[in-house]
Amino acid sequence: MTALDETGHDVHDAAHGIGDATDTEGDAADDTAHRICRKGEQMWVRVRELHDVHDGGTMLMFGEVADGCLVRIHSRCLYGDVLHSEDCDCGPELDKAMDMIQAEGAGVLIYLEQEGRGHGLIAKARGLRFSELHGVDTFTSYRSLHYSPDCRSYERAAQALRRLVPTAGRPGPQSDGRGLQRVRLLTNNPEKVAAVAATGIAVERIPLITAPRSERARLYMESKRAYRGHLLPDFPTVPAGSDDAERPEPPRPVDLLTDGAPDLMPTGLPERSAETLCGSAERA
Ligand SMILES: [Zn+2]
């Protein structure tokens, strides 16, 4: 049995950051089942929270979840997901993953609160500012600002999948009755594949390729491939006209982005190690 506090949160998870392998998420999400309309079609969805200090988020289960269903583990990107920024591929990835889940009528989206590759939006903004000032990619900017390049972990999400009991049909003959045995993972990130596979789930990787919508996005995708081993093709340069250079630069509210800006190291950010900022050197 799982101990829950007065808000229904798993006490074990709260105390340890990451839950153990007990069935803490069971079928307790059934009282959240409701319909959602997207692109003119309706789906049923259930929701669970994944409690974790660094890598928590929300698990959305669409339709009847079956063994071998489509799964997307997505890290929050406010600019891409919500504001439809054309500077990265996050928004199109999420949209395409949802299109595929919706086409099948079932699947799982795990939305992790891992903005800025786990460092948060302020760090991400500092990185973007540094990139604009110095003409470097965001991984280089993070390093210059003493952030680790990526401090996300997908262990918490993978555990939730391993405990997610299919609602469609019966578990396969190899099932130990503890959750999904197989998934089709929508990702280009080998770290996500490894994290899910480490729980014992058989993973079939489904590439999630979207064409970059700007030269800046193309360069970002290229840096993900170079620095983090993302399995992405070599996209050609985005044609002129879609390029940032072809667009008029917006007026600056104040003269902040100049080479002479005195405060490249953000105020209040002491020289700390990436391990301190991340909480775990292994996550880098
Ligand atoms: Zn993004």
Given a cut of 90, whether residue 26 has pLDDT beyond it is no
| Counted domains in the chain | 1
What's the whole-model pTM score? 0.79
- Tokens standing for residue 58: 């929300």
> Residue 201 — very low, low, confident or very high, per pLDDT cuts 50/70/90?
very high
Q: Is residue 136 part of a domain?
A: no
Q: Is residue 120 part of a domain?
A: no
Given a cut of 50, whether residue 11 has pLDDT beyond it is no
Exactly one of 13, 81, 150, 162 is catalytic; which is it?
150
Among 32-36, 50-54, 69-73, 280-284, the range scoring the smallest mean pLDDT is 280-284
Q: Is residue 65 part of a domain?
A: yes
Exactly one of 152, 163, 205, 216 is catalytic; which is it?
152
CA distance 284 to 282: 5
Q: Is residue 265 part of a domain?
A: no
CA distance 181 to 204: 11
Looking at residue 236, its pLDDT comes to: 87
Among 27-41, 99-113, 172-186, the range scoring the smallest mean pLDDT is 172-186
Q: Is 129 in contact with 142 (CB distance < 8 Å)?
A: no
The alpha carbons of the chain give a radius of gyration, in whole angstroms, of: 20
Mean pLDDT for the chain?
81
Q: How far is the CA of 41 from the centre of ligand 1 (A)?
A: 26
Q: How far is the CA of 3 from the centre of ligand 1 (A)?
A: 37
Given a cut of 60, whether residue 274 has pLDDT beyond it is no
55 is annotated as an active-site residue: no
Q: How far is the CA of 80 from the centre of ligand 1 (A)?
A: 5
- From first CA to last CA, the distance across the chain in angstroms is 34
Q: How far is the CA of 89 from the centre of ligand 1 (A)?
A: 6
Q: Is residue 109 part of a domain?
A: yes
Looking at residue 231, its pLDDT comes to: 87
Given a cut of 80, whether residue 271 has pLDDT beyond it is no
Query: What percentage of residues in the chain have a pLDDT greater than 70?
Result: 72
Given a cut of 60, whether residue 242 has pLDDT beyond it is no
> Residue 246 — very low, low, confident or very high, per pLDDT cuts 50/70/90?
low
Q: How far is the CA of 112 from the centre of ligand 1 (A)?
A: 13
Q: Is 133 in contact with 262 (CB distance < 8 Å)?
A: no
CA distance 253 to 218: 27
Q: Is residue 91 part of a domain?
A: yes
Among 42-46, 242-246, 251-255, the range scoring the smallest mean pLDDT is 242-246
- Tokens standing for residue 82: 């919500």
Q: How far is the CA of 130 from the centre of ligand 1 (A)?
A: 16
One-letter-per-residue 3-state SS of the chain = CCCECCCCCEHHHHHHCCCCCCCCCCCHHHHHCEEEEECCEEEEEEEEEECCCCCCEEEEEECCCCCCEEEEEEECCHHHHHCCCCCCCHHHHHHHHHHHHHHHCCEEEEEECCHHHHCCHHHHHHHHHHHHHHCCCHHHHHHHCCCCCCCCCCHHHHHHHHHCCCCCCCCCCCCCCCCCCEEEEECCCHHHHHHHHCCCCEEEEECCCCCCCCHHHHHHHHHHHHHHCCCCCCCCCCCCCCCHHHCCCCCCCCCCCCCCCCCCCCCCCCCCCHHHHHCCHHHC
Q: Please list, in sequence order, all residues whose beta carbon lies within 8 angstroms of the beta carbon of residue 128, skipping any fewer than 6 positions away.
A: 138, 141
Q: What is the CATH number of the domain that holds 93?
A: 3.40.50.10990
Q: How far is the CA of 88 from the centre of ligand 1 (A)?
A: 5
Q: How far is the CA of 213 from the centre of ligand 1 (A)?
A: 12
Q: Is residue 11 part of a domain?
A: no
150 is annotated as an active-site residue: yes
Instruction: Note down the domain range covering 214.
Output: 44-114+152-164+178-229
Q: Is residue 60 part of a domain?
A: yes
